[in-house]
Homo-oligomer: A and B are copies of this chain.
Amino acid sequence: MASLILSVDAMGGDSAPQVVLDGLALFAGQRSDVSFQLHGKARELEGPIEQIGLSDRCSIVHHDHVVAMSEKPSVALRRRVGTSMWGAVEAVKTGAVQAAVSAGNTGALMAFSMLALRKMEGVHRPAMTAIWPTIKGRSIVLDVGANLEADSDQLLTSAIMGEAYARAVTGKARPSIGLLNIGAEEDKGRDTLKLAAEKLRNPALGLDFRGYVEGNDIAMGVVDVIVTDGFTGNVALKTAEGTARLVASYVKDALTVNAFSKAGAVLASSGLKQLREKMNPSNVNGGVLLGINGVVVKSHGGTDPEGYATALGLAADLAASNFRDEIASGLVRANREDGDDL
């Protein structure tokens, strides 16, 4: 028996279950120590699982229903029982699995996770992460959409959670932290940010806080963890995605403009393959709702098999890491400091 079990919402995502199963096959080939609990329509899953030769590493839990990608989270929450997504998340709660993965409806997955796994002590509002490719490697941005607003305490909580998470994801011993603002000067920006910066500077927290960072600093890898509210983070993330797509279309145009450029593209193909690899969003697929009692990884709904395998890998790494204990002790430190202020 494998040492680690992941539950998988096999019906969640734009091209489920096909992409999910293809991603599963990819990942299973890389990691023989992981087995899977698949949640979804048994009839659609049994055949393919046998075909890819994973019957011995996969158990299938049948559910009649699927949360639609466009369903309102509040509606999904009422109808949760009997859905593959709820099954996958509940399996984390019962301890049957160590982590869950879904490429389904983001809002519903966050709501289900909160309900099933409950918030960690000391967390007012969980935060959603994104892994961001940078010129130096990868950074973590949070919150990218769990909450529309964030006060200074929530920003502090996000910083503590993001730092522990970044350690698990990037392997850096002491990830640096920046607060997203519209200027690097200390007196810039909203009052909430000034207050959060003050709290983050408290040496008792032991954080490597580098002050404010701006939007252009994210891709430059200026810090390892970028803290912001969920509205700003979501806009930044999607704006970056749009910009990357725009530039990719420019590059494609440049290399197909005439016969010379086409021939040049053929010659440069090994470099361009690297470029495509670097630009591939599948490499950074996987968001995590931090601040709940369990690991649930959200895959991009439109990801490809490689991307789904990346999300499964993230879930496996996080299940094996102690980042949630680190978050818990960080929050205790922060709350103690908060108490001292009174």
Contacts and interface: CB of A to CB of B under 8 A. Distances in A.
Interface string A211-248: 00011111110000000101110111111111111111
A220 B239 contact: no
A51 interface: no
A182 interface: yes
A94 interface: no
A298 to B, nearest CB: 15
23 contacts: A133-B246, A134-B246, A135-B245, A145-B182, A182-B238, A190-B231, A215-B241, A215-B242, A216-B238, A219-B245, A236-B236, A239-B240, A243-B247, A247-B248, A247-B279, A253-B275, A254-B272, A254-B275, A255-B268, A257-B270, A260-B270, A264-B267, A264-B269
A206 interface: no
A15 interface: no
Query: Nearest 3 A-B pairs (CB), nearest first?
Result: A264-B268, A215-B238, A264-B267
A3 interface: no
Kindly report how many copies of this chain are found in the complex they form together: 2
A301 B148 CA distance: 33
A213 B279 CA distance: 24
Interface string A13-24: 000000000000
A246 B189 contact: no
> Which bracket fits the contact residues of A?
35 or more
A256 interface: yes
A254 to B, nearest CB: 4
Given A182-B231, A182-B234, A253-B275, A246 B219 contact: yes
Contacts of A72: 187
Contacts of A215: 234-242
Contact of A235 (B180, B244, B245, B255): B180
A185 B68 CA distance: 15
A330 to B, nearest CB: 26
Nearest to A263: B267
Contacts of A274: 253-254, 257
A246 B135 contact: yes
A268 B257 CA distance: 9
Contacts of A239: 215-216, 218-219, 236, 239-240, 243
A57 B203 CA distance: 60
A261 interface: yes
Contacts of A251: 247, 251, 275
Contacts of A237: 215
Given A135-B246, A190-B231, A253-B275, 16 more contacts: A70-B185, A72-B187, A182-B230, A215-B241, A217-B242, A220-B245, A247-B247, A253-B278, A254-B275, A256-B271, A257-B271, A261-B272, A263-B267, A264-B266, A264-B269, A265-B268
